[in-house]
Amino acid sequence: MLGAGGGLGRIRLQRSAFFSGPAYPCPTLLIVSMPDFATRMLHLLRSFPLPDSPLPGSVEVRRSAEDPAVAGIITAFAQKYYRGNGQRVGIFGINPGRFGGGRTGVAFTDPVALTDICGIAHSLPKQRRELSSEFVYQFIAELGGPTPFYEHFFLSSIYPLELTHAGKNYNYYDSPAVIKALWPDMRLSLTEQAEQLHLRRDVAVSLGRRNGEFLRRLNDELGLFDRIEILDHPRFLMQYRRRFLAENVARYVEVLGGLLP
């Protein structure tokens, strides 16, 4: 936790500088101010542990935040959109993909959206739009754009590190063996995000039906959120339900808009 690992956001007892006697009497209470949301988020992304041993089936794990260019993007995005300490609703995807959050370090945000919609300059190549990112920024636009959206919501993943197999995207739930190997880390991820980022506890949102099943299982074990809302995954909607794009965007706006304070 931030307080334990980095010394952030905790209350310390320190001996008064004016006291010359034994160390135990009359401690001075020093209140250390709580770091803002952006600082806590950056700490979590940079410190979340890699697995202790290789994953089954030659599944590979990567932390994009270790790349200096990506770390700079994450910092700029967090300082622009995640300022302050307001409580946010956690929206949890599966795990970052190679062409969206895995490339930019920002969940569901491809290089095009990062520049053209979010106003974050970067040197990453602008390739074709990533489907999930394209859908996400359509409903974000309907909710008023990135600034008001990120003031109330935190876009993330149940497992925060990228998973690949043979160079292709891999979901944590694609293999029972990988689920078993990552389950303790997924518990840790969800707990740290809820506690360190002070997310709202009345509700959390899953992007993806199958992902939602695992989010509910984790929440049953951990008791972090009062209820879980489940929405179809953006990539699924863009790949298989694109002709119903307007209706699907409207469904997101209805559910997420209903969670606004």
| 56-115: pLDDT as tens digits | 999 999 988 888 888 899 999 999 999 988 999 999 999 997 766 778 999 999 999 999
Task: Name, in order, each residue with C-beta under 8 angstroms of 109's C-beta and a sequence gap of 6 or more.
Answer: 77, 100, 101, 118, 133, 136, 137, 155
Q: Does residue 24 surpass a pLDDT of 50? A: no
Estimate the crossing angle of helix 68-81 against helix 37-47, to 10 degrees. Answer: 150
pLDDT at position 66 is 84
Determine the Cα–Cα distance for residues 107 and 104; give it in Å rounded to an integer. 8
The answer to which of 63-67, 125-129, 182-186, 235-239 has the lowest mean pLDDT is 125-129
Query: Is 128 exposed, middle or buried (CB count within 10 Å of its CB: 0-12, 13-18, 19+)?
Result: exposed
pLDDT in tens, 181-213: 999 999 999 999 999 999 999 999 999 999 999
Residues linked to residue 155 through DSSP beta bridges, in sequence order: 91
> What percent of the chain clears pLDDT 70, i.e. is strictly above it?
86
Q: How confident is the model at residue 223 (pLDDT cuts 50, 70, 90)?
A: very high
Contact 61, 50 (CB under 8 A): yes
* Topology of the domain comprising 35-257: Uracil-DNA Glycosylase, subunit E (3.40.470)
Domain ranges of the chain: 1-33, 35-257
Q: How confident is the model at residue 251 (pLDDT cuts 50, 70, 90)?
A: very high
pLDDT at position 167 is 87
Q: Of 218, 136, 240, nearest to 173 (Cα)? A: 218
pLDDT at position 95 is 96
What's CA 45's distance to the chain center, in Å? 8
Q: Which two tokens stand for residue 146?
A: 């990135």
Determine the Cα–Cα distance for residues 234 and 237; give it in Å rounded to an integer. 5
Q: Does residue 26 surpass a pLDDT of 80? A: no
* Buried/exposed 132-146: b ≥16 CB within 10 Å, e otherwise: bbbbbbbbbebbeeb
How many other C-beta atoms can be found within 10 angstroms of the C-beta atom of residue 261?
Answer: 7
